Structure 1
Amino acid sequence: MQLRLLSLVLIFVHFMEYSDSQHASRSRRQRRTHPGVSHGCQGGCATCSDYNGCLSCKPRMFFFLERNGMKQIGVCLPACPSGYYGTRSPEINKCQKCKADCDACFNKNFCTKCKAGFYLHKGRCLEICPEEFEPNDQLMECIPVVHCIVGEWSQWTPCSKRGKTCGFKRGEESRSREVVQQPSARGDTCPVTTEKRTCVVKRKKCRKAEKRGKEERRKRPAKEENHESRQDERDTKRDTDTRGASENKNKTEHRRKKAQGKHHTSTAGSSGH
């Protein structure tokens, strides 16, 4: 009975020694495969190394190689830094570098911010903006060219001369229109927004209020008043000459027709004889 009990004790001791040796062997193999690997990491790492930093990241974190002097250290970040974009896969989430002319990007083919000297246009970085676009140096992007837009012309103002609307025949009237949209730097400039033209009205006498204005104008320097008087005289003379020429023309035409009538009558009488 004692012999049997001793045998069982020896078997148990041998089993424990075998288990300890297997565990030690697995630990040695693990150290040879991943030297210095730790599972008690900080900063989002799932596994890490004293020499290489993060080796893998926790879920939803992005693995990024950060330069530290002459070597690169793995770090795990919630978002990729400027100049990189994140990619997700079942194996690992990691940060990929944007294109050389891109300072920030959504993915490999879509840039969201360009480096100095380039302008953003539909996800691409361009040195020269395409047609109908112009560079915006504040946002560093290509924006549409804006052309000038003007409204409709207003009605012509009443015909006037030197601020009055009576006592003359020929004056001036004007009209205007508003700028609805100002052009951008490369847009079409605005056309003229005011126009003036000569107008002719039937001469009429000024009322009392207008006469008072005329009396005030008489107080002006004689030189200015004489200039206005001479201008009015020239206008009056021109109108008189025009009417005289028209009357002479009508008289000449009347005499010509009268002479033609007499000639036809004389010819008819001769034919009767």
Structure 2
Amino acid sequence: MQLQLISLVLIFLHSMEYIDTQQASRIRRHRKLHPGVSHGCQGGCATCSDYNGCLSCKPRLFFFLERDGMRQTGVCLSSCPSGYYGTRSPDINKCTKCKADCDACFNRNFCTKCKAGFYLHMGRCLDVCPDGFEPNEQYMECTAIVHCEVGEWSQWSPCSKRGKTCGFKRGEESRTRETLRIPSASGDTCPATKEKRKCVVQRRRCRKGERKGGGERKRRPNKEENKEENRESRQEERDTDNREESENKNKTEHRRRKAQIKQRVSTAGSTVQ
């Protein structure tokens, strides 16, 4: 029984020695075919070289050649640096350089950031933006030209004068509208958003304690303001009198001419008879 156990142990040891010999032989043959290549690498490398760095990468990592003067060293990265985009294939995942005018890209045909002096437009880098677009210097992109848009006019405000809605005959009313869209640098500018016009109302005296402008209590006017208001009131009265007198003259002249025409017609009829 003991002899059988000793025989099994010797066979096992001999087998282990044979396996180690075969592995050492394969390593020696690999080193002869690939001098300087190692499988015990760090930094995500699958294979590496003392002089050239990474030669291949572990799954899902991108192979990238870092340039140091005339020397290039391979590294394995989880994402490609600026100016490069990642490509995957069954053989190797690697970082490929973007176009010359592109500072960052999604693939060879789609840029996401342009180099200085170029404007990004639909994945391309342009030195001049196309029609309908303008250069955005802040983001270095071609953005659509935006024209101003305004809303509808509001209703005219009550006729007022110096913030009051009483004590005058001729005043001023106003209306406004909102700016719905602010124009871009090259867009059409906004039209006026405020308008004023003269207005005429039936004059009425302000009641005692009547609020000014519908909100604040009426301020007691000073002498100069009273003089100005009295002067304007007298002028308004003169204008009204002149206008009424002119209208009366026109009416009288119209009646006179009408009577003359009637008389001429009557005279012509008598002559014919």
Query: Do Structure 1 and Structure 2 share a fold, with TM-score over 0.5?
Result: yes
SS of corresponding position for 2:220 = helix
> Cα distance 1:53–1:230, how it changes in 2: closer, same or farther (>3 A)?
same
* TM-score, normalization by structure 2: 0.77
- Once the two structures are TM-superposed, the CA of residue 141 in structure 1 deviates from its matched residue by 2.4
> Cα distance 1:146–1:267, how it changes in 2: closer, same or farther (>3 A)?
closer
After superposition, where does 1:139-218 map in structure 2 within 5 Å? Answer: 139-209=139-209, 216-217=220-221
Q: Supply the AA of the counterpart residue of 2:134.
A: E
Root-mean-square deviation (Å): 3.0
Greater percentage in helix: 1
- Once the two structures are TM-superposed, the CA of residue 175 in structure 1 deviates from its matched residue by 0.6
> Cα distance 1:60–1:266, how it changes in 2: closer, same or farther (>3 A)?
closer
Select the structure of larger CA radius of gyration.
1
Structure 1: stretches of 5+ with no match in the other structure: 1-19
Corresponding residue number in structure 1 for 2:232: 231
- Once the two structures are TM-superposed, the CA of residue 267 in structure 1 deviates from its matched residue by 4.0
Corresponding residue number in structure 1 for 2:71: 71
Partner Cα separation in structure 1 for residue 70 and residue 267 of structure 2: 129
Offset from partner CA, 1:3-33 (integer Å, 9 cap, x none): xxxxxxxxxxxxxxxxx9xx96x77764443
Partner Cα separation in structure 1 for residue 50 and residue 199 of structure 2: 95
Q: Supply the AA of the counterpart residue of 1:228.
A: E
> Cα distance 1:215–1:258, how it changes in 2: closer, same or farther (>3 A)?
farther
| Greater Cα shift, 245-254 or 257-266 | 257-266
> Cα distance 1:162–1:37, how it changes in 2: closer, same or farther (>3 A)?
closer
Partner Cα separation in structure 2 for residue 89 and residue 214 of structure 1: 84
Corresponding residue number in structure 1 for 2:116: 116
Partner Cα separation in structure 2 for residue 98 and residue 168 of structure 1: 76
- Once the two structures are TM-superposed, the CA of residue 200 in structure 1 deviates from its matched residue by 1.8
Offset from partner CA, 1:94-133 (integer Å, 9 cap, x none): 1111111212111111112222232222111223333333
Partner Cα separation in structure 2 for residue 162 and residue 202 of structure 1: 17
Partner Cα separation in structure 2 for residue 215 and residue 64 of structure 1: 81
Corresponding residue number in structure 1 for 2:223: 220
| Greater Cα shift, 166-175 or 92-101 | 166-175
Q: Supply the AA of the counterpart residue of 2:202.
A: K
Partner Cα separation in structure 2 for residue 268 and residue 105 of structure 1: 102
- Once the two structures are TM-superposed, the CA of residue 47 in structure 1 deviates from its matched residue by 2.0
> Cα distance 1:226–1:91, how it changes in 2: closer, same or farther (>3 A)?
same
Corresponding residue number in structure 2 for 1:39: 39
Identical positions, percent: 62
SS of corresponding position for 1:64 = strand
- Once the two structures are TM-superposed, the CA of residue 251 in structure 1 deviates from its matched residue by 1.6
User: Is 1:240 the counterpart of 2:244 in the alignment?
Assistant: no
Q: Supply the AA of the counterpart residue of 1:262.
A: Q
Corresponding residue number in structure 1 for 2:5: none
> Cα distance 1:35–1:236, how it changes in 2: closer, same or farther (>3 A)?
same
Offset from partner CA, 1:144-172 (integer Å, 9 cap, x none): 33332222211101112233323433221
User: Is 1:49 the counterpart of 2:36 in the alignment?
Assistant: no
* TM-score, normalization by structure 1: 0.77
Partner Cα separation in structure 1 for residue 153 and residue 111 of structure 2: 46
